[in-house]
Amino acid sequence: MKAFQTIRLEAEPPLILITLNRPDKRNALNPQMIAELSEAFAAAEADAKCRVVLLRAEGKAFCAGMDLEALQQIAGQSYEKNLEDSRQLAQLFQRICTLVKPVIAVVEGPAIAGGCGLATVCDITLATPEAKFGYTEAKIGFVAGIVAVFLIGMVGEKRARELLLSGRLMDAAEAKQIGLVNEVVPSDGIATRAKQIAAELAANSPQSIAANKRFLADISGLDAALEKACIANATARQSEDFKEGVRAFLEKRPPRWTGLA
């Protein structure tokens, strides 16, 4: 299979394994990883031997969100470029969510911001007890608009509001309790459990699974909601609070917010 720079793509029919592979960067997202993930999921969908996709990560973190270099670039980009970038992330999340084959996330370690978004949009999410989840965008003056489109349907609007506005972290047990995680599995058994679930899914009708996923996507109205989210993201990226939030994050200090004026 094709070799990538930020991920690994491996075939173990009837599975395809997609592994985030920037452990030295805590598997943080950057434009290249987003593009490579989109290509890998497209390849999995086109592979007739693939019945289930496993998304996992190398190293101690599942995904720490956007990396520092990407954040610096975002803060200096034009609205048009930020809108383009937001659409690319939205397309990745939508591709994963609407893939005609089931996608299982295996979360070991932190899944933060965009990394939490990756875990959110998968069909089934397994986590170790040590995993942490958080939509932390508000802490740097950003808007978690894209993931909110998916999150509301999973945990309810009231819970989604609290998570998005607080930006707090939660452990795997709470993530399971609110419906973000399907199962919490000890680290020494999570790989085996993921493949067990994958085998159960692979035994089902692929046409039925695809039809169910298409139906769920159709009734959710994703297209219109995601375009609104992309506009909200691009607009937030132009704000003074976002620029200050990124500066404060990079300088490891509390942000000095400008307020609503």
Catalytic residue set: 137
Q: Identify the DSSP state of 188.
A: T
Instruction: Of 39, 36, 20, give the one whose Cα is nearest residue 28.
Output: 20
In which order are the strands placed within the sheet that holds 132-134? 110-112, 132-134, 169-171
Q: How many angstroms separate the CA atoms of 144 and 233, rounded?
A: 7
Which one-letter amino acid corresponds to residue 90? A
Pairing relation of β-strands 15-20 and 7-12? antiparallel
End-to-end CA distance of the chain: 53
Q: How many angstroms separate the CA atoms of 50 and 32, rounded?
A: 24
- Please spell the DSSP secondary structure of 39-90, one letter per residue: HHHHHHHH-TT--EEEEEESSS-SB-SB-HHHHHHHHHS-HHHHHHHHHHHH
Which one-letter amino acid corresponds to residue 28? A
Token pair of 95 as six digits: 């591709």
Which one-letter amino acid corresponds to residue 153? G
